[in-house]
Structures are given as C-alpha cells and as structure tokens.
Structure 1
Amino acid sequence: MKLSACIEWLFSDATGNFVERIRLAKKAGLDAVEFWFWSNKDIDAIERALAETGMSLSGFVAEPKIALTDPANREVFLLGLATSVQTARRLGAKVLIAQAGDDLAGRSREEQRQSLVETLRAAADVLEGSGVRLGLEPLNTLIDHKGYYLGSTVEGLDIVEAVARPEIGIVYDLYHSAVMGEKTEEVLAGRVGHVIHVHVADHPGRNDPGQGGIDLDQRLKWLFANGYSGAVGLEYRPAGSTADALPGVRAALGAAG
C-alpha cells in the first residue's frame, strides 16, 4: 500500500518549515507527499526536496479554488488549471483535486450539475495529453463542509460518467464518505475505475486512523480487491506526534509496517 502524507497537517507538530516535512515523511518510511494549494508554496524548494529524497508528489489542489457550480467561473478556472497542470508536470504529480463549490442559492441542483459537467468537460481538454488527471472530490456536508454542493459519492460518479472523459475522475475520501453514512462497497460498486486518489482519516475528530470508529482497513481492502491501485492519502489531523503514531496508523489501515 502506497501511503502519501498530506503535509499540510502531517509533521506540522515537528516543524514549521513546510519543505522539511518532505524529508520527515521520507525518514518515516512513507512513499509520497501531497498538499493543498501550490501558489503559496516555494515550488523551487519543493522541487529540490523531492529530488533529494526521491519522494513522489501524489497531487495538490487545482487553483483557483472557486465554485464550479457557477458557470461564470468557468473561464477563470480553466486558465488557472492550465497553470496548475504546468506545476504538476514540473513536480511529477499525476493528480489535481477539484472541489465542486457551494450549493448556490437561487440555482437548481440540475443547473449546477450541468455547470459542473460542462466545466469538467472543458477541463479535460486542458488536461489531455498531459499525463495529469483531475479528481472531483465529494465532501461531507454534515460536519466539515456545510453548504457544499457535492456530498454524495454516487452523485459525483454520475457527474464523472456524464463528462465521459478519461482525464476526469473522483477523489474518494473514506472519512467524508463514512460521515455521510455511505458504505464503500455500495457507492463504488462497479465504478472503482473512476477513483484516481483516496484519502483517509478517522471519525469522530478527523484524526489518526485507529482513533475512531471507521472500519478503514476493511474499506481499503475492498477498494484494492476491486481494482484500485493508487496511493492512499493520509489527510488527517494528528492528535499527537505524527511520527510516533504512524505504526498504529499503518496497523489501522492494514498496511505493512
């Protein structure tokens, strides 16, 4: 199992130097790193640290982060996506993450869904031939992202299938899915091929796997048994020392030590 540390949160207990977290992830025996926004980072320093450590970069957020549910944002998003793709290729990242945006007042669900489909279809043209894919991410709307448009994994998959382009998939976050009461084997049945990246955290608290009640190991086992072969992004808030907790995290995920 390839584990990817989200260094926005992981190793932040050990250092305020963002780039140093790449080296700490390598020292801890993790396989890759990921982060959120790239435009506020020292990309030159990140590139050097990745080369120095041999770590891979799983992905980051496609900027600008604006509501794709609003067609008025389409051109701005596509221009930013082109620059995000350039940065991803420079750093060797294969996945960019897109969020749908809020459920807009005064707009029907269908209108917003159509905006998402059309924007993602245009995004596929930007991505074509780059080797980089864009993952639409469903989020829980009960705790962390109230007002967000896309709380359902099934609806996210329906949107991806309406786009019908290989450049577009979903980022499946087991934490968000579990908070929404979803069962992995039900919402992803026959559709695992659309999942281009996976995130994990436990619930309640969005803390270290093994500290809550989500059956993360069983859900991951099902995912891998049904065709998923990508990285597992550790996107959780460490309750204590990231490094000290990692053996327990690995055990909770059913990952080899």
Structure 2
Amino acid sequence: MKLIPCIEMLYKAEHPAFLDRFRAAQADGFDAVDTWLWRDKPIDAMVDVVAETGVQVSSLCADPRASLVQPAEHATVLGAVRDAVPVARRVNSQLKGAGPAARIILASGFSVPGVAEAEQRANIVGVLREAARIAADGGVELLLEPVHMVIGGNLMAVHAVRQGLDIVEAVDHPALRLLADVYHGAVSGETFAQAFADRTELISHVQVADFEGRHEPGTGQLDWSGLLPLLRQRGYTGAIGLEYLPTLPIDQSLALTRRHLGL
C-alpha cells in the first residue's frame, strides 16, 4: 500500500509556501497528496506544480462545507459539489495521460437536537444520492468522511467508520465511497477490527493518525501492528493517507510512521 501525505499538516512547518510542499513530497518519493478546502488555493499554480512534479492531488474538500443533515443547507451542499467537480478534474489534467480527477470529500455536519435520528439519516442519504449523481456525471468520486467533532454539545451526525459504511451502503451509488479516518474512529471508540469488520469494498481511502493527540503513528495508544494486515485480509487495496500533526522533523516523522505501519 502506498502512502499519501496530507500537505495541510505534513511539510507545513518546513515549507510554509503551499506549492513547495508538492516538491518536498516528490523529493520524499510520494506521487500523490491530500488537500483540504480549495477556494483559497492557487488552482492555476497547482495545475502547474502537479505537472512539474508528477505529484497528483488525491483529494480535496467540497467548499464551502455545509450540513448534509439539514435540508435548508442541501442546496449549498449540491452547489459545492457542482463547483468542485471541474476543479477536481482540472488539478491533475496536465499529468501525462491526463491524471485521474481528485476525489471530493464531504462530512455530514452536526446532529440536530430534537430531530429523530432516522430523519437525520434520511436527510443525509437523500442529499448524498443527488450529490453522487452530480459527481458521476462529472467523472469524479465523492468520499464521505466520518468526523468525530463536538461543538456546542452537538456531535457530528456521522462520526464513526461503521456509521459511514451504513450511509454509503444506503446511498448505493458507485460514485460515493467512504474515507475511513482511523483517528476519528478511535475517538469514537472503534477498534481497527470493529471499524473494518466488513464492507471494505465501500472504502476508497484510509487515513491514519495516532490517538490521543492526532500525531504520527507510534506517539499514542494505538497498536498499529495489526492495521495493514487487517486491511489486506479484508481486501482493501487503496492507499493510506497520512493526516496527522507531526511532532518530529518530517524525515524522522515519516520514518517513525513507516516503521509502525510496517511499510
């Protein structure tokens, strides 16, 4: 399995200039990177640096973020997907052979007090079905990311890997897959075995960070020795995204990560 660094976190200390992180990733042997929101990024320059380095953009986030739970925000969600599709197709377009489109990441938004869980789930499934049709028409894949975050006492509606798998399964569209972030799963109380017990074919990307602290594997409480063997056993063939806050200089951080992941 190959590794994909998230350059919103990795390389940031050594390379404050965003585009320089592509070059640093190339120098370390990576051929793809993950990013977050795109509207504040120099897209023309990103196209150029992808062509220069051969380091493609693996993913970017729908921008602006909006709630999948609340119908009043669904038009914003769908507009964000429509706007992101041509960007996702463009960023890698100058690679030899016109590289694959970047995938578009969505999170659920926060649960709504006083609204039944079944109604919230139905709202999420409904808007994701429409979003998946938009993405499919543009030749782009959507990734639903469960995120464990609490603001004002409200937890994200989809915060655990198994919840996310339930949603992706219910939407039942090939343009929607799951981004399984094992850090958020750990915060939600999931073990690796619980998170990846089944339906791994619905997972298109796995991201890692240790718990607690969200730093590199080997700095927290998680036993990483079983993750990759479990994923291989379950048939996962995708990449492993590095979305953590480094505690060490990048060369040492990557070495520690590789050692604990067994890569």
What is the TM-score with the length of structure 1 in the denominator?
0.93
Report the counterpart of residue 131 of structure 1 in structure 2: 139
- Between 1:30-39 and 1:114-123, the stretch displaced more is 30-39
The equivalent residue for 1:48 is 48
Q: How many residue pairs align between the two structures?
A: 254
Query: Would you say 1:76 and 2:76 are equivalent positions?
Result: yes
Letter in 2 for 1:45: A
- Counterpart of 1:199 in structure 2 is 207
- Give 1:247's aligned residue: 255
Alpha-carbon spacing, 1:187–1:211, altered in 2? closer, same or farther (3 Å): closer
- How far off is 1:64 after superposition? 2.0
CA deviation after TM superposition for structure 1 residue 129, in Å:
4.2
Retained in 2: the 8 A contact 1:5–1:33?
yes
Give runs of ≥4 in structure 1 deviating > 6 Å: none
Q: Which region of structure 1 is more displaced relative to structure 2, 47-56 or 210-219?
A: 210-219
Q: Output the amino acid matched with 2:249.
A: S
C-alpha separation in 2, matches of 1:251 and 1:31: 20
**Is 2:26–2:53's contact at 8 Å kept on the other side of the alignment?**
yes
Match of 1:23 in 2: 23
Deviations 1:197-249 (A, max 9, x none): 11100111101111112123411221123221112110000113123321111
C-alpha separation in 1, matches of 2:21 and 2:71: 37
CA 1:219–1:146 in 2, change beyond 3 Å: closer, same or farther?
farther
User: Match of 1:158?
Assistant: 166
- Report which stretch shifted further, 155-164 or 33-42: 155-164
> CA offsets, 1:159-180, max 9 Å, x none?
1111111111111011111222
| In 1: Cα distance, 2:227 partner to 2:215 partner | 17
Counterpart contact for 2:146–2:159, Cα < 8 Å: yes
1:109 to 113, 117, 120: 117
2:79 maps to a residue whose letter is: L
Q: CA deviation at 1:94?
A: 3.7
Separation in 1, partners of 2:235, 2:8:
29
Mark the runs of 5 or more structure 1 residues left unpaired by the alignment.
Answer: none
**Is contact 1:98-1:136 (8 Å) kept?**
yes
Alignment partner, residue 57 of structure 1 = 57
Q: Deviations over 1:90-142 (max 9, x none)?
A: 12334211000001123221111111000000011101243321111112247
2:155 counterpart SS class: coil
Q: Which residue of 1 aligns with 2:9?
A: 9
Three-state SS of the structure 1 residue aligned to 2:129 is helix
The CA deviation at 1:71 is 1.0
Give the letter for the 1:157 counterpart. Answer: L
Of the candidates 140, 148, 159, which is equivalent to residue 140 of structure 1? 148
Partner of 1:34, secondary structure, is: strand
Matched residue of 1:35: which SS? Answer: strand
> How many angstroms apart in 1 are the aligned matches of 2:148 and 2:155?
10
> 2:197 corresponds to which residue?
189
CA distance in structure 1 between the aligned counterparts of 2:49 and 2:246, rounded to whole angstroms: 23
RMSD: 1.8
Equivalents in 2 of 1:110, 1:17: separation in Å? Answer: 45
State whether residues 5 and 32 of structure 1, in contact with CA within 8 Å, keep that contact through their aligned partners in structure 2: yes
Q: Retained in 2: the 8 A contact 1:13–1:240?
A: no
